[in-house]
Structure 1
Amino acid sequence: MSTTPLGRRETRNGVERIVFTRTFAAPIADVWAACTEPRRMERWIGTWTGNPASGDVVFRMTAEGEDVPEEVYLVETCEPPRRLEVRSRDSAPFSADGSGPRIAWQHTLELGEADGLTTLVFTQAVPDGPVGAAMAAGVGPGWDYYLDRLGAAIGGADPGTILWEPYLERSESYRSLYS
């Protein structure tokens, strides 16, 4: 497996982000459903409950085991089947021991379809500087892993066959995007 990161750093609307692009041989409606319907999402990343029309949902990652806490996300933009923007309601400390700066997770999903292919562009806001470098070292490989699991789910394969450990080899490459 390559240690080269599949994401890239970009500034979008004045915000530093890691941007991931994937292309699927599937209709846009199918990719949108895989990314937004709780039952479909559970195969590759997690599930959510609540009413997005109210402005927020409770998300729980299930691909990482039982001990992962739920997180409330605010739905900032939802334009099916093309655009979804969410932000964690509460900022969480970004460090293993809880002493690091508090970070709100910000994610954007954009979909486009042409010639029978759907292109997904997923972004995560990552601040500049040392905090961003440490954050990129974790979330970069994580999103490569989850988006590969999404590809497996859309393609009808078992996302459980994709192992996490090889993705850790990309950590330093992602860290270098912010160093």
Structure 2
Amino acid sequence: MTITGDLDADGQDLVLTRTLAAPRDRIWAHLSTSALLETWFGTFEGDPGSGQVQVTMTAEPGDSSAVEYTIHACEQGALLTVSSAMGEDTWCLSVELADAGGAEASDSAGAPDRGDAADGAVTVVSLRHHAVPADMVQHIGPGWEWYLDRLTGAVTGGEIPGMDVWDSRYMTLAEDYARLTR
């Protein structure tokens, strides 16, 4: 498995992409509907229209408590930007959806994503972790690879990787992510 992320031109943001054989509205539903978000990430409570929701991550082991997420941008079917306190840090994340325009859909390893894009819709999903600390890229990159593979599986009906493959499939990417900061 090779990494799908890279630092942007300024070296500040970590950007990972997936190309899915699925329409943007289906992917958007997995970002904005709590029951579908739960299939790959977690749940949320509250009114997104208020600009804040409480998110409980359910994909990782252990007890999770709800964390407040602030919604900075929400353009249905196109862009979601949120931030949340993670310990002493604040994480700002954006997910952008764009029509692929003829690109072939693939998963993170370059294999077909097994989607059912009978309508021919192919969407590029770009996750941007804004201002990622350089010393955390090697830890954060593999985590977002895992979550994006989970999103891909949830949207397309493919594999949704669990923690059983975390060490063997995702932590092996840590050194490649560390090299991005050298």
Structure 2 length as normaliser, TM-score? 0.81
Deviations 1:97-150 (A, max 9, x none): xxxxx32010001111245201111100234xxxx2331111100000110111
Corresponding residue for 2:74?
78
Question: Pick from 150, 168, 176: which aligns with 2:171?
Answer: 168
**1:34-45 alignment runs, 5 A limit:** 34-45=30-41
User: What percent of counterpart residues are identical?
Assistant: 33
Aligned pairs (5 A) from 1:87-166: 87-88=83-84, 90=85, 92-93=86-87, 102-113=88-99, 114-115=101-102, 116-127=121-132, 132-160=133-161, 163-165=165-167, 166=169
* 1:48 equivalent in structure 2: 44
SS in 2 for 1:40: helix
Which sections of structure 1, spanning at least 5 residues, go unmatched? Answer: 94-101
| Structure 1 residues 160 and 145: alpha-carbon distance in aligned structure 2, compared to 1, 3 A threshold | closer
RMSD: 1.9
**Higher strand share goes to which structure?**
1
Moved segments of 4+, more than 3 Å:
none
Choose between structure 1 and 2 for higher RCO, CA contacts under 8 A separated by at least 6 residues.
2
**What is the aligned residue count?**
161
Residues in 2 aligned to 1:146 and 1:85: alpha-carbon distance in whole angstroms: 16
Q: AA paired with 1:108? A: S
Cα distance, 1:146–1:103 mapped onto 2, change above 3 Å: same
1:159: how far off?
1.2
Aligned partners of 2:141 and 2:159: how far apart in 1? 22
Counterpart CA distance in 2 for 1:105 and 1:159 is 24
Q: 2:35 touches 2:43 (CA, 8 Å); kept in 1?
A: yes
| Matching residue's letter, 1:141 | P
Give 1:8's match in structure 2, choosing from 3, 6, 9. 6
Moved more, 46-55 or 14-23: 14-23
User: Once structures 1 and 2 are overlaid, which stretch shifts more, 72-81 or 110-119?
Assistant: 110-119
- Measured in 2, the distance between the counterparts of 1:22 and 1:37 equals 20
Contact conserved, 1:15 with 1:125, CA < 8 A, in 2?
Answer: no
SS at match of 1:34: helix
Shift in CA distance, 178/69, structure 1 to aligned 2, threshold 3 Å? farther
- Mapped to 1, the partners of 2:7 and 2:56 lie a distance apart of 26
